[in-house]
Amino acid sequence: MAIMGEVVHMKKGSFVLRATLGGFLFVIPIYLAILLLLKGMKSVAGIVRPLAKLLPESVPADMLLSLLLVLVTCFLIGAAFHTRAGNNLRQRIEKGLFERVPGYAVIRSLTQKITGSSDDKIWKPALFELEECLVPSFIIEEHDDGRYTIFVPSIPTPFAGAVFVADPERVHPLDVPFTDALRTVSKWGSGSKDLVAVMDGGAKPRVDAAAAG
C-alpha cells in the first residue's frame, strides 16, 4: 500500500510538472509579445506627442498613436519581407543571428504553421506507432538515413511532451492541416478517428464548424 501511494504521488507530481510547463510555454510568448509591444509604444511616445496634443484631452492620444505607429512599423517591415530584396535580407539576418539562438528555428516554424504560411516538413502532423498504439504526433526533422525526430505532445498542452527518434515504418505522415492535428491534441484526442481515416485511405478529415470556431 505504501508503494502504491508513492506511485500515485509521483504521478500527481509528474502531472503538476507537465501542466505547469505547458501553461508556462503558452503564457510566456504572449507575455513577451505584450511586453515588447508596450516597450515599443513607450519608445515612440516622444515622436507622437506633438501630434497627440492636437487631439482632445479626453482621448488617450499618446497611447493610441504610439500603438498605431508600432503596428504600422510592423506592417511595413512585414510587407518589405515579402519583396525579393526584403526576403533575402531577412534570410541573411536569420542565418547570421537569430538561428544561433537555441530553439529559434523550431519556434519560427511553429508560428508559421499556425498562421498557415509554411509548407516545410517541420511540425508535419503524423501518427506514430508507439508500442501497440497509434499516437498523434508531429515530425520535427527527417534524418539522412530516413529516420524521423518525432514530438509527441502532452494532453491537452500540445507544446509540452516527449521526443523520439523513430524508424520510418513507425511514422505515418498525414496530409492534414497543422491546426486540425493541433485541435485534436488540445481536445483530449477527439477527432483522432479522422486522422486514422486519413492514414488508412487518404480521406480528408471532417472539420466540425462549431469546433473550428
Structure confidence by residue, pLDDT tens digits, 34-60: 777 778 878 877 887 787 777 777 777
Q: What is the pLDDT of residue 38?
A: 79
CA distance 191 to 181: 8
Helix (H, G, I), strand (E, B), or coil: what is residue 187? coil
Which is more confident, 3 or 78?
A: 78
**Do residues 62 and 49 touch, judged by C-beta distance below 8 A?**
yes
Strand 161-166's sheet: what is its strand order?
161-166, 148-153, 133-142, 124-130, 171-173
Specify which residues 161 forms β-bridges with. 153
Query: Which whole number is the average pLDDT over 68-83?
Result: 83
Q: What is the pLDDT of residue 102?
A: 55
Pick from 111, 130, 131: which is nearest to 182 by CA?
111
Pick from 101, 108, 136, 132: which is nearest to 122 by CA?
108
Cell of 127: 501518427
pLDDT band, residue 211 (cuts 50/70/90):
very low
Straight-line distance from the first to the last Cα atom of the chain, in angstroms, rounded to the nearest whole number: 47
Cell of 173: 505522415
pLDDT band, residue 128 (cuts 50/70/90):
very high
pLDDT band, residue 186 (cuts 50/70/90):
confident
pLDDT band, residue 207 (cuts 50/70/90):
very low
Helix (H, G, I), strand (E, B), or coil: what is residue 103? coil
Helix (H, G, I), strand (E, B), or coil: what is residue 83? coil
**Do residues 178 and 125 touch, judged by C-beta distance below 8 A?**
yes
Instruction: Look at residue 85 and tell me whether its pLDDT is greater than 80.
Output: yes
CA distance 157 to 23: 7
Is the full-model pTM beyond 0.75? Answer: no
Helix (H, G, I), strand (E, B), or coil: what is residue 126? strand
Tens of pLDDT, residues 135-165: 888 988 889 998 999 988 887 666 778 899 9
Helix (H, G, I), strand (E, B), or coil: what is residue 41? helix
Instruction: Look at residue 109 and tell me whether its pLDDT is greater than 80.
Output: no
Give the burial string for 127-144 (b: 16+ CB within 10 Å, else e).
bbeeeeebbbbbbbebee
